[in-house]
A and B are shown apart, each in its own frame.
Chain A
Amino acid sequence: MTEQRGPDTGASTTPATGGAEVLVRVENLKKYYPIYGGVLRRHVGDVKAVDDVSFEVRRGEVFGLVGESGCGKSTLGKTLIRLQPETDGRASISGEEIFEKSGEELKRLRRRMQIIFQDPVGSLNPRMPISDIIGEGLVAQATKENGWASRKIRDSRVEDYLEAVGLRRDYTRRYPHEFSGGQRQRIGIARALALDPEFVVCDEPVSALDVSIQSQILNLLLDLRREFNLTYLFIAHNLSVVQYISDRVGVMYLGNLVEAADVQSLYTRPRHPYSVALLSAVPDPDPRVRKKRIVLTGDVPSPAAPPPGCRFQTRCWLRERLGNPENCETEIPVWRDMGAGHMAACHWSEELPDDVVGQAVAREAPPAPVLKPRVNERPATPPTSPQPGDSPLPGPGTVGG
């Protein structure tokens, strides 16, 4: 196991493209929650939170996972790193089986797969000072080689990682309630990274934060990825955030992965009617963007009784448009390659009308925001010192889309 991958080892990892080494492989993962009913508390059914999901995460990439609440994306992330027992399926990290480990082996494995939680309040123990919150993992993972059993070595490592996430080294004696939401999220990140993981599940890490704090954390996550050679599984419901941070994206609906592709390909030419509707529903802060919205009717069905065939058939606009073909209700769509590794699970992907898709995702969007410097003469010394590398205004923008 690599020891102390320092900040300066990082040969910057360019976004992974096809052919890069697979770090995490998930095959046919299922996670069911049993439902007990009746007087005898008999097993009467299952909530199929994650049902037969397969995908790969390549080393060094950010794999985004989007979907609405209850689609199973968080469950998937937590099951993958063994916070919840799996129901069926396989998963591996650099070839090592994740679900077959136990005891000491499992503990060693945990060090390589870490998680950053959504709730910056609930994920930090309110009764522990920061040194213990970050240090607990080091205590648990202490070995002869790393010497983490020693308080002194541990403390200095805790301070190093506080610094790495942009907090002051002397914050170790404080308690979580003394920090703001963004700072707490930084502490959660430091806790995950202090164990020197390869793979980090980011479970909605910015959803609970205000917009201005959100951008700080996103910048930080990208910086840390480069610095520590990390691979992220980035779970979120905010499509703009996922688009910004991810190299590849998977879309989940009702426990299934319905589409997975390169971020560019998915956001400009989605191949599943659900992804199209989802993208069209995102409100754009640019008032000139006029999307042709596809408003889905009805609600998501219960994952305890998913519809037969394609799970999206009850709300599918494409199916309606095609005159309700029968196989949507009878056959489970095959997970297939739509070209250049763009995977989707829909019987009628080829029938997606290009004009509707184009208007729905507003591919013809106006050029990206280009902020010109507002002021010609700045005061000699700026009153606030921005974070290193954070110029108050981004440089000239590139045209996106």
Chain B
Amino acid sequence: MTAPIVAAQAAPSSSPQALLEVRDLRTYFKVMDGVVRAVDGVSFSINRGETLGIVGESGCGKSVTALSIMRLHDTPPTWIPTDANQADLPDDVKALLGDAPSSRILFEGRDLLTLPGEQMRAVRGNEIAMIFQEPMTSLNPVFTVGNQIAEAVMLHQRMSKKDAWDKAIESIRAVGINNPERRVRQYPHELSGGMRQRVMIAMALSCDPKLIIADEPTTALDVTIQAQILELIREVQDRTGAALMLITHDLGVVAETVHDVVVMYAGRVVETGTVDDVLLAPKHPYTEGLLTSIPSRGMKGQRLNVITGTVPNPFNMPAGCNFAPRCPYAFEPCSEHDPRIEDADPQDVACWLYSRAPGSSATPPRVRPRGAEVRA
């Protein structure tokens, strides 16, 4: 049994640098068949101007985390325990929560989860902007792109229609679209996929956000277009100094775009660190499994690594470590005790190979010391 993390309830701004600090985020969906713990105790932070990648396979909770930060879920069916809503939580959600601490999403010290709706709307799009995977569905087909950007600008900043329109042209120019005066008058369907994603980025940047959340921004695009967009994201991030949170399943994109990375599995953070540390010397068996199952150069002629089995049923998570049933290194405590990243020292991997399980006498098998490179 894991003890509640008391430290997490400390004063909001424990690290003064942090722009966004997510603490013990738990996002549960109450559906007909039960409660899905889509995100179950996720903590990380992003400093001003920094870049963070969140990686994981489908269903690991990475997109739900982003939507939770933006508060784009409906309650019900989605429940995030905060100090304010303890009384409203359904009983089965409460039972699963046990004595887990309240979730907090601190943005410049303010808890977004308890912010009144009106103030949250001011944050959304203005201070935190989001870029979605499918640029076609996130643009309204019946308005010109200029209209949509200008509208967003006018919504958040006091500006005349004319100024907003100029700002729209300016931000379209800034994302490398030729002939912006003509493009603002076009409708989304007249643009190609890459162009639409540029427009989405232009829209996200139009209000000078402090944080950009990009949810699989290049997954729907071709490689050569993906290269353009990644270049663009890097470039605008450099120029504007906004922090970037990039959500993706593609480890290559992560390696090229961000500095720090959070690896998620089944609603949990399993490993964090700099890109170099995590991708070159992964600690968590899941991270390692992922990296070795990618057919990369030099793997030719060898069998690829396989992570056996499938992701656990979200209604019925295994006791102990979520990854234990598929883990080639699992040993005694893994099936009983739940490794939490907060308990690890340093707090960078949730795995009993690196810390001693409470009450367990089993010695972790000797492991590769930190720094022994996975890639020779």
Contacts and interface: CB of A to CB of B under 8 A. Distances in A.
B251 A392 contact: no
Contact of B305 (A237, A374, A394): A394
Nearest to A390: B306
B304 A215 contact: yes
B304 to A, nearest CB: 4
Given A287-B279, A378-B329, 18 more contacts: A68-B225, A237-B223, A277-B224, A282-B223, A283-B250, A283-B255, A284-B296, A285-B279, A285-B296, A286-B279, A293-B231, A300-B222, A368-B297, A369-B296, A369-B374, A384-B308, A384-B326, A398-B302
Contact of B366 (A376, A385, A391): A376
A243 B306 contact: no
A367 B298 contact: yes
A382 B328 contact: yes
Interface residues of B, number: 70
B310 interface: yes
Nearest to B251: A285
B252 A210 contact: no
Nearest to B261: A287
Contacts of B58: 210
A35 interface: no
Contacts of A278: 223-224
B97 to A, nearest CB: 29
Q: Secondary structure at chain A's binding surface: helix, strand, loop or mixed?
A: loop
Interface string B186-211: 00000010110000000000000000
B158 interface: no
B200 to A, nearest CB: 16
A300 B228 CA distance: 13
Contacts of B308: 384-387, 390
Interface in B279-316: 279-280, 285, 288-310
A31 B349 CA distance: 53
Contacts of A378: 329, 365
A127 interface: no
Contacts of A214: 293
Contacts of A11: none
19 contacts: A210-B249, A211-B249, A243-B300, A286-B255, A299-B192, A299-B195, A365-B298, A374-B367, A379-B330, A382-B328, A386-B328, A390-B303, A391-B303, A392-B289, A392-B305, A394-B302, A394-B305, A398-B301, A399-B298
A377 B366 contact: yes
Given A215-B305, A285-B279, A365-B297, A299 B225 contact: yes
Contacts of B325: 383-384
Contacts of A241: 295
Interface in B322-344: 324-332, 334-335
A384 B334 CA distance: 13
A281 interface: yes
Contacts of A219: 303-304, 306
A288 interface: yes
Contacts of A222: 303
Nearest to B277: A287
Interface of A: 68-69, 180, 182, 210-216, 218-219, 222, 237, 239-241, 243-245, 263, 267, 277-278, 280-289, 293, 295-296, 299-300, 365-372, 374-379, 382-387, 389-395, 397-401
Nearest to A386: B308
A391 B306 CA distance: 8
Given A68-B223, A393-B305, A384 B330 contact: yes
Contacts of B225: 68, 299
B304 A68 contact: no
A174 to B, nearest CB: 16
B148 to A, nearest CB: 21
B298 A245 contact: no
A215 B293 contact: yes
B298 A401 contact: yes
Given A286-B279, A372-B368, A377-B365, A281 B330 contact: no
A314 to B, nearest CB: 13
